[in-house]
Each structure stands twice: as structure tokens, then as C-alpha cells.
Copies of this chain bind each other. A is one copy, B any other.
């Protein structure tokens, strides 16, 4: 039976035709092409990379970037709904799209020169060229400012040394956006996969995001040509701007994962009979379902509000922090609760819930952990930093 998004508050009435259409086209694609194979991909630990060109064709890669660069040029609500639908399938699928669009295409668009935009964006939008985003290092997750990766100027370019960890798409990327310190300032570099001295190492034994590729990136005296510097990048705030884009998409994506779990649990509760009635008719089950639908409904309002603000250029990064923090925590809670409703059936890959639950552990941590977002918001409201 097909996935139904939650609309307890009748929020669909606030969506435009185009927004509804974007959601529908992605949902249809997901149901037809990805859902049938995602459980197996997850169990076997492989990413369905054969679908990338179709995702490109569908327009989901960098969907909120301008049409002049081959992108769909959708508004941010449509973009968000696309993320929701992808993650209703699997966080790994949405992660692929987030990395490609928000963490790679966006910085090329925002910090690259026109030549770089022309060279990369159209190919990336089409899914013919894959990117990854190298910011996190093995020992620097929550505080990237202390990164060790370093670029030194040489004739004709830069020599890059260092290592990045937990990089989605790393081993399949054609180009890596790598953040490194140049003269003490963090700058972005486009690193071609064939660069001598650049290697990747697959991160194995994951018990989360198994249908997604995670890698380490290693740079040993890599020569990066001058034209591969993202010229307008300057300082930590540049990668943080990318993270804000990605977090915005995650806030919507988490909604999708939550809806998928809730939808599954609700239907199960209506069909599973114990003690002579559907378990959805027991108070303890209703309490769980009601907490879930309430959490989802509030997260929907939050996403829509942020989307409308983003479209008018009024969205603040700290507001995105709230949405990322809140929605992922909500989704994780929903996944856990849904799991309990399904009883023993909840632990198999026959239902998407355990997979979502495991995936959301990564989502909770990446792109700013729950705790880091707490402290970002805390600093904003109190005027006091509590990081250190």
C-alpha cells in the first residue's frame, strides 16, 4: 500500500500546485523505483547508484538552484517536499541528494566563479557528475574551526594535505569540495577524483545509513590548480552557509522519515488484532500515535514557515538550527515509538521502521549534532557562548 503523508492540520491547502506536483512526482518515482529495492540495498550495504541519472532527470539534484545552470529552479518549499519524499524512502537516499545539491552544487553556485558554475552545475544537476563535501575530520567534528587539513600556495596552485572523515558519497564522487586552511583561513577547493595523492577509503561496518556511501578522504601532497579554488569562500562561515542549506533540507527530510514510520504504525495498528480488537483501539497505542501525529504536525508547520521565509530571504541560520534539531529528534522518537507498536514485526526489514530508526541516529549526529544546535540556539537567545 502506498505511503500517505500526514495532513492532520490540512497543511496541503497551503501548498501551491507546483509544490504539490513536485511532491507527487518524487513520491511516484520513489514508490516505483526505489522502495522495491531499498530494504535489500540496506541489508547488503550498498547504495543504488544506478538511479542517480534518473534522480537527475527528475530534477531533484540542486532543485532550488536556478534553471540557467540546468537546475529545476524550484522554490524552497517544493525543494523541501522533495527532501521529505526521498527520506520517507531512506535517509541515505536523501543524504545523497543533500550532499550533491546543498553541500556541493550550492557552494559552487555561491562561492565559485562563473566558469566553475558553468563547468559543474549542469553536469551535477543531471547526475552525471557526483560531488562530496569534505569538512569533518577524524578528530574535528563539532569544532571544524580546528581542522588540520591545510593548503599551501605553490606556483600555479596549492598543495593540499590532510584527511577528512564521514564523507557521504566520498568513494563515488567525481569532485570533492574540500575545506582547508590557507594562510590560516578556511577556504574551499574543488578536488578532482583523479588528483594524484588523493585517495578514499570506504567506511565499513556501518549499522546506520547502510544504503549510503561513507568514506574517508586522504590528501597527500595533492596539487590543486589555481582555478579550483572557490574564490568567494572566506573563513569558516562559508562551509557553515553550506551546512545551513543542508540542514534546511534535513529538517524536511526528517519529516519524511517520521511520516513513513507513523504511516506504517497507524496502518498496522488498524489491522493487528489482539485481545479481540485492533490494537489501535487500545489507549496505550492511541497515546503513542497521538504523540507522533502531534510531533509531525508541528514539524510540518515549522518546515513550511521556514520555507516561506527562505523564499523571501528572511531565514536565519539559527532558525534552521531549531528545525534541524527539533525535527530529527522528533523523527527519531517517532521511529522508536512506531517500532514498539509493531512488536516483533517491527524489527524486520519487511517494514521500514528499524531502518529509519537506525538511519536517524546518523542524521541526529551529522550536520551539527543535536547538542551543537542546542548551544547555537542557546547562544542566540542568551547572548552567552557555552561551547567551550
- Chain A residues near B (Cβ < 8 Å): 8-11, 13, 39, 43, 136, 139-143, 165-166, 203-209, 266, 269-270, 273-278, 280-287, 289-290, 293-294, 297-299, 301-302, 305, 309, 314, 316, 319, 322, 325-326, 336, 339-340, 343-344, 346-350, 354-355, 357-358, 361-362, 364-366, 369-371, 374-375, 377-379, 381-388
Contact = CB atoms under 8 A, between A and B. Distances in A.
B274 A375 contact: no
Given A206-B348, A289-B381, A378-B289, A301 B305 contact: yes
6 contacts: A11-B305, A206-B347, A270-B382, A278-B384, A293-B377, A297-B302
A361 B347 contact: yes
B382 A274 contact: no
Contact of A348 (B205, B290, B381): B205
B143 A381 contact: no
Q: Pick the 6 closest A-B CB pairs, nearest first.
A: A286-B378, A281-B384, A280-B382, A205-B349, A283-B283, A207-B354
A280 B384 contact: yes
Given A207-B348, A348-B203, A382-B289, A374 B284 contact: yes
Nearest to A166: B344
Contacts of A204: 348
B326 A346 contact: no
A297 to B, nearest CB: 7
A289 B290 CA distance: 20
Given A206-B347, A290-B377, A319-B8, A283 B386 contact: yes
Nearest to A364: B340
Given A39-B205, A287-B287, A298-B302, 10 more contacts: A8-B322, A207-B354, A269-B382, A278-B384, A280-B382, A283-B283, A283-B378, A289-B378, A340-B361, A340-B369
Contacts of A326: 294, 298
B302 A322 contact: no
B39 A309 contact: no
A369 B287 CA distance: 13
A38 to B, nearest CB: 12
A294 to B, nearest CB: 5
Contact of A314 (B10, B139, B286): B10
A283 B281 contact: no
B283 A282 contact: yes
A198 B290 CA distance: 42
Contact of A275 (B9, B322, B354, B387): B387
Contacts of A280: 378, 382-384
Contact of A298 (B266, B273, B298, B381): B298
Nearest to A273: B139
Contact of A141 (B319, B344, B355): B344
Given A205-B349, A297-B322, A361-B347, A381 B283 contact: no
A203 to B, nearest CB: 7
A154 to B, nearest CB: 32
A381 B266 contact: yes
A8 to B, nearest CB: 7
Contacts of A10: 309, 314, 316, 319
B347 A141 contact: no
Contacts of A388: 275-276
Nearest to A362: B347
A383 B270 contact: yes
For A142, A209, A379, A386, the residue with the greatest tally of chain B CB atoms inside 10 Å of its CB is A386
